Structure 1
């Protein structure tokens, strides 16, 4: 069996976490690449809060959140393709097979003796990659982006103008008809402005002045000055700096020993990487003739650059580890990740994530939950009362409920974005993401009834599924686990939502 390191509750909570997008200026990306990492990769090991945080629910009661984790990714404007997802999952399983010589179970079938591995070490890697590679959908909002970090270097000639450009770019991606992906949680996405200061090359006094201007324009809760790269001589220092990034990068890269030669802590790179390669999941990806992969051409900031091992890629740009090492003679070793960072830099990045989450993201989520609750209290009550009165007037009697097998297939039904039913689902998903499982259950339960009334079976199945999970995760199990909710959701997905 797989050796699962997490409990079921921990696994579920880690699978559904607040999603945060990233847009970087070219200079900011260049400064993080000194560590052979993109910005989203740089912060990824520090994305779990080390202390308990709290927020207030719509009833003004304090709600505590433990071990909160966020997911930070580059913006990718193309949905993952099924073929690429299957390829990724196959590679993950292949790279996670048990070592030779381990104990196996022998099963005799006729003249054949089959050696079956007694363990499945690939299972957790497969499961993690499967969840991360699932594309965002329209009937649920759990993996829609709640916020966007806009990252600009302090060495920019006009940092404030660069922030404005990135802000306009994010607005264009979300609100124009040009892009249908990625998905955003609400129209008013939280924008968090990050000034990245490279200690080894920037003027600290200038960075402080720019940051003061940022605080006046965006507020102290909406911006941050992050200082990195204080280790000026990576090769000359005898200090052993840990590499917390390896476990978060592409697993096939880390588990395939063909990638390493003399130094097991190093990663491979083409000799001409500065001019001909873009890093992708810790790997290096060859560029097309014009210097950008085909899917990157539309954006001046290379928005579609995949940086998350969880599957934000497409079938043309996904590169396997085998393809990267076929011409090993042309490749040489690079130092480990984070070569320009000290332990103080690690602490600064960790503190940055803490500040962003506590002072930026959680207040934004709290405010959004309150707004949704207020909207539903007014709009839904009015719309439902009118609907019920009209229905009663024309029908004259109550319509009997139908069983799952009698309901017609309305999987293609789409609600408008402002529909009260979707606002309830959004509120439920937000509560779930911040571990308020009791309120989440109530919202999912209400949404489930509305979707069933409309025979919107895909939406109803999603609400049933998450209502069951919310009940399961409630501390102390105040109500019995509604197994029939999950059974009905599975049956609906299987028989109706085809």
Structure 2
């Protein structure tokens, strides 16, 4: 089979990463866009950490976090399409991604003889990796899992603001309103107490550095030295020598269109109405041409019945036109005001935020969830050592009046112990504590199956299997039947083609890694469990 650039462990780890939201003041957005980049786009090439981080689990054991990547997006409150099926725009985008990533002519190939034919097959499949990455980026946040929910929010204000602290207060209030007012269903937030991290953006070419330092000292008194940062950028004059070659690390990220929470025709976010937040969105879809989409009309996981609601025909695809008002074209010549020292400052900022802000925040919430769950279950030891005592489930889930009267329409109240276990499992997975994550997923799976909450159960089965595989070292055998059951429940019971395909993609890579190529080919079409 063709070889992928990433190892299967890297692929699985990068498929689920901590999500960070961004709210910018208009002035901070202006400073960033001098480089033809929104603030989230500015950070994107530097979101993989080059050094190790550490957290302590509920048993106070030190856990190492390696090669961590975070995902940074601008807040977008626009509703997304149904999580059970991709939108026409997303189908179009996936087709174009595949078309633009075909192997080069003359690329290395392997010859296979079958009957009277000699088949020359490419050694690499860049189109598949591009499709897979774009598909996983397009996954909408769902109520049954928390992996795609935002853990933190960066509040970004320029040092040139008349009163920066007032702008921070406005952005903080705006984030709180979006999350807690009940006015918006999107984006989704991981926990009620979202981490707010205050960033003072200083334009070296036009700002007063002494004033910026003074404001930053005040910020450290207000928000704590672990909760704020002074980021200096734009050290290079726009009129710098033309022959000065500065790398552009953004192009390789911006041409991969970020589909998360984005649809053509999206209007400006609700932050525009709140006063103080920028109306610009980072990571929006790139402008596409008027040509017909090259995406496939059928899908290997498509239901035979009710196909009208889950598939797109060519006529529908031809009618889908990108809305220029909601789509930002990919810029060229990014980072023209940034020096290599600025690149290093941005990289250092992301590392400081993650190591001093995000990871401690996750560690604290894992401990709090563990304490709450132990208290509710009446256990004397932590979940890590007492998981086996949990089986039996908690309060039965409630039916939502607006949901269909089916097993997949079951909803748990936000405070339900079953959801807290799932939340703790997702937190542990995101910081690579796969042993504890597996224990939580396994417990949640038992509870969900007991309650016949099949969508929740499928999600727990899927992630329990991934966690078991990522433990490595023969800690426990990979439960392939968990993945098979999850695919079946997503597809047949819950009729959710998007989650079924995600599960099939993950399963195929794991099976391929184990040399089970026949099973990997068969997994997406599995019918019997």
Residue 414 (structure 2) aligned to one of 417, 421, 437: 417
Quote the residue 1:268 is aligned against: none
Aligned residue in 2 for 1:136: 141
Change (3 A) 1:25 1:293: closer
Q: Which runs of 4+ in 1 moved over 3 A?
A: 98-107, 113-120, 285-288, 292-306, 321-325, 332-335, 387-391
- Decide which of 368, 371, 377 is 2:368's aligned counterpart: 371
The answer to whether the 8 A contact 2:38-2:280 is kept is no
The residue that corresponds to 2:518 in the other structure is: none
Kept in 2, the 8 Å contact 1:54–1:63? The answer is yes
- SS of the counterpart of 2:178? helix
What are the equivalent positions in structure 2 for 1:92-491 lying under 5 Å apart? 92-99=97-104, 120-236=125-241, 238-251=243-256, 298=273, 300=275, 305-308=280-283, 319-321=287-289, 336-381=333-378, 409-491=406-488
Q: CA deviation at 1:237?
A: 5.5
Where structure 1 has 5 or more consecutive residues not aligned to the other structure, the ranges are 108-112, 253-279, 392-407
Residues 159-181 of structure 1, C-alpha deviations (whole Å, 9 max, x = no match): 00000000011011111121100
Aligned to 2:299: none
Measure the CA separation in 1 of the matches of 2:93 and 2:435.
36
Q: Which has the larger radius of gyration?
A: 1
What is the TM-score of this pair, normalised by structure 1?
A: 0.79
Question: Aligned pairs, how many?
Answer: 433
8 Å contact from structure 1 (residues 200, 232) kept in 2: yes
Task: Report the Cα offset of residue 494 of structure 1.
Answer: 2.1
Q: How far is 1:80 from its partner?
A: 3.6
Q: CA, structure 1 residues 449+381, in 2 after alignment: closer, same or farther (shift >3 Å)?
A: farther
Q: Is residue 194–residue 225 contact of structure 1 (8 Å, CA) maintained in 2? A: yes
Q: Name the residue aligned to 1:399.
A: none
- Counterpart of 2:67 in structure 1 is 67
- Tell me the distance in 2 between the aligned counterparts of 1:430 and 1:333: 33
CA shift digits 1:233-280 (9 cap, x unpaired)? 45425432111111100248xxxxxxxxxxxxxxxxxxxxxxxxxxx9
Residues 112-150 of structure 1 deviation map (CA, whole Å, 9 limit, x = unaligned): x99997864311111000000110000000010000000
Q: 1:286 to 1:118 in 2, by over 3 A?
A: closer
The alignment yields a C-alpha RMSD, in angstroms, of: 3.6
In 1, distance between residues paired with 2:420 and 2:272? 35
The alignment partner of 1:152 has SS state of strand
Deviations 1:375-408 (A, max 9, x none): 00012349x99x98999xxxxxxxxxxxxxxxx9
C-alpha distance in 2 between matches for 1:476 and 1:333 = 43
* In structure 2, C-alpha distance between the alignment counterparts of 1:389 and 1:76, rounded to whole Å: 35
Matched-pair contact (CA < 8 Å) for 1:153–1:159: yes
Contact 1:22 1:151 in 2 (8 A): yes
- Supply the distance in 1 between the matched residues of 2:204 and 2:351 (Cα, whole angstroms): 21
How many angstroms does 1:45 deviate by? 0.7
The answer for unaligned runs of 5 or more in structure 2 is: 82-86, 113-117, 292-320, 380-388, 397-404, 496-529
**C-alpha spacing 1:321/1:44, structure 2 compared with 1 (3 Å):** farther
**Structure 1 partner of 2:382:** none
**Corresponding residue number in structure 2 for 1:46:** 46
Deviates more, 1:295-304 or 1:427-436: 295-304
CA-to-aligned-CA distance 1:398-424 (integer Å, 9 cap, x gap): xxxxxxxxxx94101011111100000
Give distance in 1, aligned partners of 2:100 and 2:395: 60
Matching residue of 1:78: 78
Question: Aligned-pair distance for 1:158?
Answer: 0.8
Cα distance in 1 for residues equivalent to 2:490 and 2:174: 37
Q: Secondary structure at the match of 2:20?
A: strand
Distance in 1 separating the partners of 2:350 and 2:198: 13
Cα 1:453–1:25, aligned 2, differ >3 Å: closer, same or farther? same
- Whether the 8 Å CA contact 1:18–1:433 is kept in 2: the answer is yes
What is the rounded CA distance, in whole Å, between the counterparts of 1:423 and 1:389 in structure 2?
Answer: 11
